[in-house]
Structure 1
Amino acid sequence: MRHLAGTDTGASFSGDGGTSAFPGPDREAVRAVLREARAAGRTALTAPEGRLLARAYGIATPEEGTAADADEAVALAARIGFPVVLKIVSPDVSHKTDAGGVRVGLRSADEVREAYEAIVRAVRAYDPTARITGVQVQRMVARGQEVMVGVTTDPTFGKVVAFGLGGVLVEVWKDVTFRLAPVARADAASMLDDIRAADVLRGVRGAAPADRAALTDLIVRVSELAADFPDIAAVDLNPVFAAPDGATAADVRVLLHDRPPVHRRRRHTKEDMRAAMERLMRPRSLAVVGASNEPGKIGHAVLRNLIDGGFAGDVHPVNPQAGDVLGRKAYPSVAEIPGEVDVAVFAIPAPAVPAALREAGRKKIPNAVLISSGFAETGEHRLQDEITDIAEEYGIRLLGPNIYGYYSPWHQVCATFCTPYDVKGGVALTSQSGGIGMAVLGFARSTNTGVSAIVGLGNKADVDEDDLLTYFADDPHTRCVAMHLEDLKDGRAFVAAARATVREKPVVVLKAGRTGAGARAAGSHTGALAGDDAVYDAVLRQAGVIRAPGLRELLEYARALPVLPTPEGDNVLVVTGAGGSGVLLSDALVDHGLRLMEVPADLDAAFRRFIPPFGSAGNPVDITGGEPPATYEAALRLALEDPRVHALVLGYWHTIVTPPMVFAELTARVVAEFRDRGIEKPVVASLAGDTEVEAAGAYLFERGVAAYPYTTELPVAVLGAKYRWARAAGRLPGGDAR
């Protein structure tokens, strides 16, 4: 058997690595290992090579060495000290356990000799062509909780670091959390509390807690290793033994990309994005390419909507067969339109788009809205690539193709073939799907939700979510952004744009496809998790994005978040007229990560003074259903007046004594009175009763109370969303404003 140059061989061995005096990474040592692997045509490093990379980044590994025969293995074991573990060293065997290439708990020279021979036989039987470099002899780590730390290359977000409980069941239980690599120390520390089994690391049944500082160091360093070297596709440290006094990686596996990674080239700076989106959303003139006099045609509907929507700028129909369209002079091409044009809306067949887009480029039109279908969504990838190349050549930003258009109500732009909508407000809504776009439109209309924009993204040949976020972050009319997406072209660009936006306004995302199987990468436990929805979930949370579980929640969060004031603390009080709803509201609070306030004795006594004897104070405060409006008002005033109460959940029960609209009017009046005094707290309400509660809920919503009939879950869900944003934006103690 030959030895592998550049690794410990024969009687050489290394001691346990510490982290306290780490001077910094030895990048040249890593480059040398990677060069040798590439020169040999390998994409998987051997265990000794992996250990060298770990050591170069200050990651502790057990004392070990590589033996070329059984005698060397026995000698190494004697010098390291029993018990030991033996592992095959082969560039062709990734999962050593599956190949029979691991033996643990060896306590004598005879056991080591027998294990060496058994491992070699097993691996040769498993894969007769496998190159066997030797057998690794490693001190057995006797203490600590097994965890896994790794890095994988996600198809959307690139390098992400993973953390979870270790062992072979990581792929089964998937109790794993993720962060973008390289990971900041605060984010690394938060990963320890992000898994379901976090209590195991804190110590259970008398066990000592794991060394959190050492684990945090390890996560940071492995993420830096992968980020520093683009050639690295995946890193597996599994198991890592997390002990009370350190963290040791017992097994290190590293995979390289089989081809150089491809990075999306950003063609536009943030300033370019803002300028282009500004002209898109606030145009002075538009052209409709394919405008038509014939009702039922898309070009007719788009032009009609722009005209009827009251757009104050110039609207130019383009149709080579018509002298005028809807009473406006028509031009045979955009080239013949006098003056500048900010946006060209294309409503022509897909094959005709390239030539017309070139004309727009020569006219120096900066934005093209491609309503036209028949591109990548139908398999016409070459045609979509062609229009993308034309747009890049002429500096045109493409919205679409395959979209319903867009609305910019503050500027009277209704560039769509769908029904018009002009209710101005603070919610910006985007969707990849036309069907979802219509649902967004219908919801906005039915709830009278004021919007700053509704935008279809379709195939996202060019303009995508990070372009729009860059604009909405600075748009004075936008107070909340809600996005339906099926994928992200550039996950890191989206995260950067979302983080910048979240500092000032909430971003809510409905990610479709959350139950997809995801990509599978052979040879790596962490690689097997690439593309998994859990990566989206963790990274979106890292960015401060609020993830909606469904379409209804996306739209309700978008509607409610601008209405609710930002809370100043975590104390949530429930006041209800029915004990049953109080229990359900309390359950919902826990489900959404909110905290039921522990009511101080003086506040409890104050509530008891006007609650009937068969009611209850504490939290929830149950004033009972038979009480008159005065009792509701007294409870509301007491909760709003006390600075220790930071948010209020109302559970209303429809009675003849306090009818729904009476409750709504008194609640709105009291909340407005305190608002005028400078006391603003988020107030949400659950309304149980007959159909009259629907009008009462709408009345309250229009006046700053997020009220919902027939549900205890939804009002608490929107309150929880507000709290999640407030923490992400750094508006609450312990929040994270990055």
Structure 2
Amino acid sequence: MNSSALELEVPKHAAPDTVRRILDQAKQDRRTSLTAPEAKAICDAYGITVPREALATSADEAAARAADMGFPVVLKIVSRDILHKTEAGGVLVGLKSVDEVRAGYDTILANAKAYNANAEIAGVQVQQMLTSGQEVIIGAVTDDSFGKLVAFGMGGILVEVLKDITFRLAPIDKDEALGMIDGIQAAEMLRGVRGGEPADRAALADMIARVSRLVDDFPEIAELDLNPVFAMANGAIAADVRIVLDFAPKEVRPRPGQAEILAAMNRIMRPRAVAVIGASAENGKIGNSVMKNIINGGYPGEIYPIHPQAAEIMGYKAYKSVKDVPSEIDVAVFAIPAKFVAGALKECGEKGIAGAVLIPSGFAETGNEEGQRELQEIGRKYNIRLMGPNIYGFYYLPAKLCATFCTPYDVRGHAALSSQSGGIGMAIIGFSRSAKMGVSAIVGLGNKSDLDEDDLLTFFEADDETHIVAQHLEDLKDGRSFADVARRVTKKKPVVVLKAGRTAAGAKAASSHTGALAGNDRIYEDVFKQVGVIRARSLREMLDFARGIPKLPTPAGENVVIITGAGGSGVLLSDACVDYGLKLMAMPEDLDTAFRKFIPPFGAAGNPVDITGGEPPSTYQNTIRLGLEDPRIHALILGYWHTIITPPMVFANLVVQVVEEFRAKGIEKPIVASLAGDVEVEEAAEFLYEHGIPSYAYSTEIPVAVLGAKYNWARGAGLIR
């Protein structure tokens, strides 16, 4: 029996030193986990409350320790070779006497030897047994993309079966920890139900915050479980602690500073001179399409076609190499086969070109990882930022630059969109054109060998021409960097993300319970929420958000009122409000009376306000006017039903008339509309949209989703009182 893992007296002022000493010893011993006494010492060092416990090396000592702390007690095997104690029969609970403890000690040792005859056993941990409180789990994991994450969930079946757990980037403060507690499905259980005492949420939040600080301070802690934690009316205690270690050095992704990123991105997106490597005069060639788009898009800067034989292409003098161009070049668009890219990229580096738009495929997406690494090495050596490879290029309309082989696009506006997939890029272009959604940029990122979503966010944050950013992605090469940038950008501009692969397999095999629950999509969901990113569930939703959110003014508060001409529409709109996190206003008596003045006796005031389908246009006008006049109402959802008395375009015109009347008075509130009826409602919806009112024919969900997205952004940015 080895007694090297002893209880440690930990001076509070020496917390980091204590943890470092324990971790260094484990590293020296080549261990990947800590013993229970070591884990307890680390918890003590960080003020994480655990039960009274002691290490016993004999049955008599175990009995004496148990008698001292009081029954019932729990016995647990202490061995650096046995991580999963329960599987080894190394845990006994509810022991109520010294005789049971003595017998239990012998039983646990026998079970441990049967489980692993070669296990080095330090003794048996005697622990005060907790018998009251709500069971929860607090933990931490290390994600390949996001790094250290802290987790919280309900214990027992709620976390095992329902996966009722939430994650945040570590470290977090107590306020964020309280948000985690409120963010699980079973949050109300902790507030006390059916006469039960509420849990001490402040104590839980404090424990979550301390765990987050611990794992942030010590990257070697790969996984940590406090399971279960007993949340009581006064305090919280972690009954069991498991700490898994990983001392392998982590690969550090090269990351330029914000100023450096902006300098390069400005040269790429707003270049004074563009080279097209592989430019061609032959129709059907990618290099031909790129040249045509740049020229026909009205790009005012210098254009340098690069071709090994041609003297001129499309009226522009051609050069054999970028190095032969006598002037400075900001960005080069590549339209040559993959096997020639590395050589041409090196020449770009020698020329001092800031960015390379790598259209060619044939790299990591086809298994050519080595070829892609070569490009990355060249890029780092010469400080060239790489967009792609395997992309359609990009559009940046303020510079009149269509650096792509796709169809030209010229509907200028303020939405910047990007996609990891070329097919999704085509859909973005098509929708934007069809819906007349003005864009500032459309960017393809492809394999993301270098430039990725956070580089684009850094540029669009500083771009006055961009008011909203919407991004499709399949993964994040550096989720932590993305989160850091997104947290900053979302305070100024909405950021919408469509994360593909929601049904993909979860995280890699984990040693801790928390790690096993850390599904990839759950982490993305919670981190996006933490940093204020709006998550779209579908391509259409992302596009509708990109188009609709900028149209809506920021709401002054949470009170939403539905005004509808059909009861069925009102019910569906109410359901959608629940789904998208909107708060239907509880109608004050005086406001209810005011609405009733304009609707027939068989209509319904309250909220939704049902004016019925037989009412004339004036009823819509009066109720909408009241909704805009009253400062207690912060947003309106209109549910229109096609009638002969108020045809679709009559409805659309009267809504615009009332809204513009109040805009002239300086009163603006978010308004969305759902239109049900024959095909004429399509024209009416488009007319409303053109006048700043996001409106949708045949849908009660989309308008509410758009309004909900605006609210989610405004809440995250701290703009709603």
TM-score range, shorter chain: over 0.9
Q: Is the 8 A contact 2:640 2:673 kept in 1?
A: yes
What aligned pairs does 1:181-220 form with structure 2 within 5 A after superposition?
A: 181-220=170-209
CA distance in 1, matches of 2:551, 2:404: 28
Matched AA of 1:328: Y
Q: Which residue of 1 aligns with 2:512?
A: 524
Q: Is the 8 A contact 1:288 1:317 kept in 2?
A: yes
Q: Is the 8 A contact 1:167 1:238 kept in 2?
A: no
CA distance in 2, matches of 1:702, 1:36: 68
Q: Secondary structure at the match of 1:429?
A: strand
Pair 1:332-2:312 in alignment: no
Pair 1:466-2:459 in alignment: no
Pair 1:574-2:562 in alignment: yes
Residue 268 of structure 2, aligned match among 280, 283, 290: 280
Q: Secondary structure at the match of 2:121?
A: coil
Q: Which residue of 2 aligns with 1:610?
A: 598
Shift of 1:640: 0.7
Matched AA of 1:98: E
Residue 56 of structure 1, aligned match among 40, 45, 61: 45
Residue 418 of structure 1, aligned match among 406, 410, 428: 406
What aligned pairs does 1:356-395 form with structure 2 within 5 A after superposition?
A: 356-395=344-383
TM-score with structure 2 length normalisation? 0.98
- Give structure 1 stretches of 5+ with no counterpart: 9-13, 734-738
Q: Is the 8 A contact 1:433 1:456 kept in 2?
A: yes
Matched AA of 2:46: Y
What aligned pairs does 1:177-326 form with structure 2 within 5 A after superposition?
A: 177-266=166-255, 268-326=256-314
Residue 489 of structure 1, aligned match among 477, 495, 518: 477
Q: Is the 8 A contact 1:483 1:510 kept in 2?
A: yes
Deviation per CA, 1:1-40, whole angstroms, max 9, x where unpaired?
12124436xxxxx9xx9xxxx9666111111111111111
CA distance in 1, matches of 2:173, 2:335: 47
CA distance in 2, matches of 1:169, 1:718: 32
Q: Is the 8 A contact 2:5 2:122 kept in 1?
A: no
CA distance in 2, matches of 1:105, 1:445: 69
Q: Is the 8 A contact 2:2 2:120 kept in 1?
A: no
Q: Is the 8 A contact 1:697 1:708 kept in 2?
A: yes
Shift of 1:177: 0.6
Deviation per CA, 1:491-547, whole angstroms, max 9, x where unpaired?
111111111111111000011111222223332011223452111111110000001
Return closer, same or farther for 1:166/1:24 CA change in 2, 3 Å cut-off. Answer: farther
Q: Which residue of 1 aligns with 2:636?
A: 648
Matched AA of 1:390: I
Shift of 1:41: 1.1
Q: Which residue of 1 aligns with 2:652?
A: 664
Aligned length: 721
Q: Secondary structure at the match of 2:124?
A: strand
Q: Secondary structure at the match of 1:147?
A: strand
Q: Secondary structure at the match of 2:183?
A: coil
Matched AA of 2:111: A
Residues 426-435 or 627-636, more deviating: 627-636
Shift of 1:337: 1.4
Matched AA of 1:75: A
Q: Which residue of 2 aligns with 1:451?
A: 439
Pair 1:593-2:577 in alignment: no
Q: Give aligned-pair identity as a percent.
A: 61
CA distance in 1, matches of 2:573, 2:656: 21
Q: Secondary structure at the match of 2:253?
A: coil
Matched AA of 2:336: I
Q: Secondary structure at the match of 1:685?
A: strand
Q: Is the 8 A contact 2:640 2:675 kept in 1?
A: yes
Q: Which residue of 1 aligns with 2:137?
A: 148
CA distance in 2, matches of 1:71, 1:543: 54
Q: Which residue of 1 aligns with 2:545?
A: 557
CA distance in 1, matches of 2:482, 2:248: 25
TM-score with structure 1 length normalisation? 0.96
Q: Secondary structure at the match of 2:379?
A: helix
Residue 100 of structure 2, aligned match among 97, 111, 124: 111
What aligned pairs does 1:143-182 form with structure 2 within 5 A after superposition?
A: 143-167=132-156, 170-182=159-171
What aligned pairs does 1:501-512 form with structure 2 within 5 A after superposition?
A: 501-512=489-500
CA distance in 2, matches of 1:265, 1:713: 43
Q: Is the 8 A contact 1:153 1:530 kept in 2?
A: no
Matched AA of 1:4: S
Q: Secondary structure at the match of 1:133?
A: strand
Q: Secondary structure at the match of 2:551?
A: coil
Q: Secondary structure at the match of 1:59?
A: coil
Q: Secondary structure at the match of 1:473?
A: helix
Shift of 1:605: 1.4
CA distance in 2, matches of 1:516, 1:118: 43
Q: Which residue of 1 aligns with 2:75?
A: 86
Q: Secondary structure at the match of 1:35?
A: helix
CA distance in 1, matches of 2:261, 2:6: 49
Shift of 1:42: 0.5
Return closer, same or farther for 1:679/1:25 CA change in 2, 3 Å cut-off. Answer: farther
Q: Secondary structure at the match of 1:121?
A: helix
CA distance in 1, matches of 2:662, 2:93: 69
Return closer, same or farther for 1:27/1:6 CA change in 2, 3 Å cut-off. Answer: farther
Q: Which residue of 1 aligns with 2:60?
A: 71
Structure 1's consecutive aligned runs of 4 or more residues displaced over 6 angstroms after TM superposition are none
CA distance in 1, matches of 2:374, 2:325: 25
Q: Is the 8 A contact 1:284 1:341 kept in 2?
A: yes
Q: Is the 8 A contact 1:185 1:216 kept in 2?
A: yes
Q: Is the 8 A contact 1:350 1:373 kept in 2?
A: yes
Matched AA of 2:389: P
CA distance in 1, matches of 2:362, 2:370: 11
RMSD: 1.4
CA distance in 1, matches of 2:624, 2:188: 38
Q: Is the 8 A contact 2:5 2:37 kept in 1?
A: no
Residue 421 of structure 2, aligned match among 433, 450, 455: 433
